[in-house]
Structure 1
């Protein structure tokens, strides 16, 4: 079922077009500003994790490449919206409210995989991509 959801999400994203790269870059810059306001340091300085922010129905960055064993921390930097994360072959996470986070450690290398925001992937195209390498 999740595999079908992910495939549907990818097809939806491809058919409707992703946010233009300039718009995505601007959105992600805003998300990073919010992160710094909330936590006092850039997301790149988070130790032991790769940070992906959730902001205005988007994952920032939208695509990541990480080595096996990396923990991804999705941080909600929105002001009022909650988000969840669905990683392939895993149950949907609990909702993360503003300033909360969700973590998942990727233990298997493989082809790029989509991950989704449970409540927003279909209506808002909130879809990310992770590639896990050896």
Structure 2
């Protein structure tokens, strides 16, 4: 038996309990879709239309995409599409120094000449936000 004012609430609560939360992958996909929209708004074209470079967006403490595979000789451009946060790019396996802080709409480029997996991170945010990425370079 149910006291009338609470019956409806209990039924709604039981429905909420069974609604699955979005997975981490779904949240990242949504953030990266939003990052792409911001990129297109900032530069008046999608990132896929950049000639000669592969674009990685930095947004909401994520690299978008977080992992990519490119052939030797590919230039990757990291672009900060956040509103207020600065980021860096630190290519751990190269002799390249960490980039300067990249503020909104600023970018950093690197051409990959050595095959293999190459980890990178955002210096200020890799520990606290797990802002880490991977480029796999194929021969």
In the superposition, the TM-score normalised over structure 2's length comes to: 0.80
Report 1 or 2 for greater relative contact order, CA contacts < 8 Å, sequence distance ≥ 6. 1
Equivalent pairs counted in the alignment come to 115
Structure 2 residue runs without a partner (length 5+): 1-22
1:74 and 2:78 aligned: yes
Partner SS state of residue 91, structure 2:
coil
Structure 1 residue runs without a partner (length 5+): 1-18
Q: Distance between the aligned counterparts of 2:98 and 2:127, measured in 1? A: 15
Q: Distance between the aligned counterparts of 1:58 and 1:114, measured in 2? A: 14
Partner SS state of residue 134, structure 2:
strand
In the superposition, the TM-score normalised over structure 1's length comes to: 0.83
Q: CA deviation at 1:100?
A: 0.6
2:136 matched residue in structure 1: 131
Q: CA deviation at 1:132?
A: 0.2
Q: CA deviation at 1:103?
A: 0.4
Q: What is the CA RMSD across the aligned residues, in angstroms?
A: 1.0
Which structure 1 residue ranges, 4+ long, deviate > 3 Å from structure 2?
none
